Structure 1
Amino acid sequence: MALTVDCVGNGLWAPVALIFFTRGQHLPLAHVGAALTVGGLLGLLAGPVNGLLVDRWGPANGAALSYAVRTGVFALFPFVSATWQVGALAVVAGAADRLFWTASTPLLARLVPAGELMGVLSTASVLKVSGWAAGGAIGATAGGLLIDSATGLHLVAYANGLTYAAAMGLVLTVRRHLRPSPAAEPSADGRAWRWRDLRDAPDFLRLCLLTLLLAFVSDCLTTMLPVVAVVVLRQPSWVPGVVIGVACGAMAVARRPAVAYARRVSAPRALRLAAGFFTLSVLVMASSGWAGPVTTAVVLGAALIGTLGDALFAPVVTTTANAAAPPGLEGRYNATFQTSFGIAGAVAPAAGTALLAHGNTVLWLGLAAVCAGTALSVGFLTRPTRPVAAPAAAPLRRIVVGGISGAGKTTLAAALAGALDIRHIEMDALYHGPGWTHRTEFADDVERATRAPAWICDAQYHWVVGDLLGERADTFVWLDLPRRTVMRRVLLRSVVRAATGRELWHGNRETWRSMLRNPRHPLRWAWSQHATRRPRRPLSSACTPASPSST
Structure 2
Amino acid sequence: MLAIALVDRIGSGLWASVAVLYFIYVSELSMAQVGTLAAAAGAIGIAGAPMGGKLADRFPITRVLLTVQLIRAVASCALLTTDNYALLIAFSAVGGLGDRAASILTKLYATRVAGPERVRYQAFHRTVANAGWALGGLAAAAALSLGTTAAYQWLLAGDALSFVASALLTLRCGEPPSSSRTVTTSKHPAPTTRPTTPWRDRTYLAYVATETVLFLDDAVFKVGLPLWIAHESNAPNGLAPLLMVLNNVMVVALQVPLARFGTTTAAARNLLLPLSATFALGGTAMAFAATGGAVTATALLTAAAAAFTMAEMLHATISWELSVALAPETAQGTYLGVHGLAQSVQRTFGPLAVTAAIATGPAGWAAFGTVIALTCTIQHRLVRGRLTQFALSVPPVTVSEN
The 1:261/1:352 distance shift into structure 2, 3 A limit, reads same
* Mapped partners of 1:397, 1:29: distance in 2: 49
CA contact (8 A) 2:120 2:263 kept: no
Q: CA deviation at 1:194?
A: 6.4
Instruction: Return the alpha-carbon distance in structure 2 between the equivalents of residues 338 and 398 of structure 1.
Output: 23
Q: Work out the CA distance in 2 between the residues paired with 1:25 and 1:182.
A: 44
- Bigger shift: 268-277 or 124-133? 124-133
Closer, same or farther: CA 10–397 of 1 in aligned 2, 3 Å: closer
Q: Which residue of 2 aligns with 1:57?
A: 59
Name which of structure 1's ranges 286-295 and 261-270 shifts more when overlaid on structure 2: 261-270
Residue 215 of structure 2 aligns to a residue whose secondary structure is: helix
Alignment-derived partner of residue 275 in structure 1: 276
Structure 1 pair 193–354 and aligned structure 2 pair: CA distance change class (3 A): same
Kindly indicate whether the alpha-carbon contact (under 8 Å) linking 2:263 and 2:321 is maintained by their aligned counterparts in 1.
Answer: no
User: Which range is displaced more, 324-333 or 283-292?
Assistant: 324-333
Q: Where does 1:172-321 land on structure 2 (aligned, <5 Å)? A: 172-175=171-174, 178-179=176-177, 182-183=180-181, 190-193=192-195, 195=197, 198-199=199-200, 201-263=201-263, 266-292=267-293, 293-321=295-323
Give the AA of the match of 2:150. Answer: T
Instruction: Compute the displacement of 1:362 (Å).
Output: 3.8
CA distance in 2, matches of 1:133, 1:60: 26
Structure possessing the higher radius of gyration over alpha carbons: 1
Task: Compare the two structures and name the one with the higher helix fraction.
Answer: 2
Check 1:231–1:171 CA distance in 2 against 1; reply closer, same or farther (3 A cut).
Answer: farther
What's the counterpart of residue 378 of structure 2?
377
Aligned partner of 1:10 in structure 2 is: 12
Q: How many residues align?
A: 387
Of structures 1 and 2, the one with the larger relative CO (CA 8 A, separation 6+) is 2
Q: 2:360 is paired with a residue of what secondary structure?
A: coil
The answer to whether 1:154 aligns with 2:156 is: no
Alignment of 1:36-47 (within 5 A): 36-47=38-49
Please give the secondary structure, in 2, of the residue aligned with 1:291.
Answer: coil
Query: Counterpart of 1:364 in structure 2: which amino acid?
Result: W
CA drift of 1:132 comes to: 2.9
What percent identity do the matched residue pairs reach? 21
Structure 2 vs 1, CA of residues 180 and 337 (structure 1 numbering), >3 Å: closer, same or farther? closer
Report how far residue 55 of structure 1 moved. Answer: 1.5
**Is the CA contact (8 Å cut-off) linking 2:53 and 2:336 kept in structure 1?**
yes
Shift of 1:124: 2.2
Cα separation, partners in 2 of 1:167 and 1:381, compared to 1, 3 Å: same
C-alpha displacement of 1:46: 3.8
- Given the superposition, is the C-alpha separation of residues 36 and 263 from structure 1 closer, same or farther in structure 2, using an over 3 Å criterion? closer
Query: Structure 2 vs 1, CA of residues 11 and 254 (structure 1 numbering), >3 Å: closer, same or farther?
Result: same
Contact 1:117 1:319 in 2 (8 A): yes
TM-fit CA distance, 1:180:
5.0
Alignment of 1:87-98 (within 5 A): 87-98=89-100
Q: 1:384 to 1:232 in 2, by over 3 A?
A: same
Aligned partners of 2:276 and 2:373: how far apart in 1?
7
Alignment partners' CA distance in 1, 2:131 and 2:368: 25
Q: Report the alpha carbon displacement of residue 208 of structure 1 after superposing the two structures with TM.
A: 1.2
Task: State the partner residue of 2:170.
Answer: 171
Q: Give 1:326's aligned residue.
A: 328
Q: Counterpart of 1:211 in structure 2: which amino acid? A: E
Aligned in 2, Cα 1:381/1:255: closer, same or farther, shift over 3 Å? same
- Alignment equivalent of 2:79, drawn from 77, 80, 99: 77
Q: Is the 8 A contact 2:130 2:252 kept in 1?
A: no
Q: In structure 2, what residue type is equivalent to 1:157?
A: L
Q: Deviations over 1:231-281 (max 9, x none)?
A: 432433432232122222222333344222223753321122222212211
Q: Where does residue 340 of structure 2 map in the other structure? A: 338
Alpha-carbon distance, 1:378 to partner? 2.6
Q: TM-score, normalised by structure 1?
A: 0.64
CA contact (8 A) 1:271 1:317 kept: no
Maintained 8 Å contact 2:262/2:321: no
Query: Does structure 1 conserve the Cα–Cα contact (< 8 Å) formed by 2:13 and 2:133?
Result: yes
CA offsets 1:206-241 (integer angstroms, 9 cap, x no match): 321221110024432453113322443243343223
Aligned to 1:436: none
How far is 1:22 from its partner?
Answer: 2.2
Residue 27 of structure 2 aligns with which residue?
Answer: 25
RMSD: 2.8
Structure 1: gaps of 5 or more residues: 387-395, 400-448, 454-551
CA contact (8 A) 2:357 2:368 kept: no
Cα pair 2:58 2:181 within 8 Å, conserved: no
State how far apart, in whole Å, the 2-side matches of 1:451 and 1:324 are: 16
Between the aligned partners of 2:250 and 2:70, the Cα distance in structure 1 is 33
1:313-341 superposed Cα distances (whole Å, 9 cap, x missing partner): 11221222123332342221111001111
Q: Distance in 1 between matches of 2:363 and 2:391?
A: 49
Alpha-carbon offset, residue 397 of structure 1:
9.2
Residue deviations 1:275-308 (CA, integer Å, cap 9, x gap)? 2212211211111112322322222221112222
For residue 64 of structure 1, report the CA deviation from its aligned partner.
Answer: 1.9
Distance 1:7-1:367 versus aligned 2 partners, 3 A rule = farther
Tell me: CA distance 1:172–1:275, structure 2 relative to 1, closer, same or farther (3 Å). farther
SS at match of 1:261: helix
Paired residues of 1:214 and 1:371 also in contact (CA < 8 A): yes
Q: How does 1:414-453 map to 2 (within 5 A)?
A: 451-452=395-396
Q: Which amino acid aligns with 2:208?
A: C
Q: Which is further off, 319-328 or 329-338?
A: 319-328
| Residues 241 and 117 of structure 1: CA distance in aligned 2, closer, same or farther (over 3 Å) | same
Q: Distance in 1 between matches of 2:191 and 2:342?
A: 30
Structure 1 SS opposite 2:113: coil
Asked if the contact 1:217/1:367 (under 8 Å) is kept, the reply is: no
Q: Does the C-alpha gap of structure 1 residues 397 and 54 become closer, same or farther in structure 2, counting only changes over 3 Å?
A: closer
Quickly say closer, same or farther: Cα 1:143–1:337, change in 2 above 3 A: same
Cα separation, 2, equivalents of 1:370 and 1:217: 12
| CA distance in 2 between partners of 1:397 and 1:227 (Å) | 45
Return the offset for 1:184: 5.8
Question: CA distance change for structure 1 residues 332 and 180 in 2, over 3 Å: closer, same or farther?
Answer: closer
* Aligned-partner Cα distance in 2 for 1:279–1:74: 39
1:133 touches 1:244 (CA, 8 Å); kept in 2? Answer: no
> Could you state the TM-score of these two structures normalised by the residue count of structure 2?
0.87
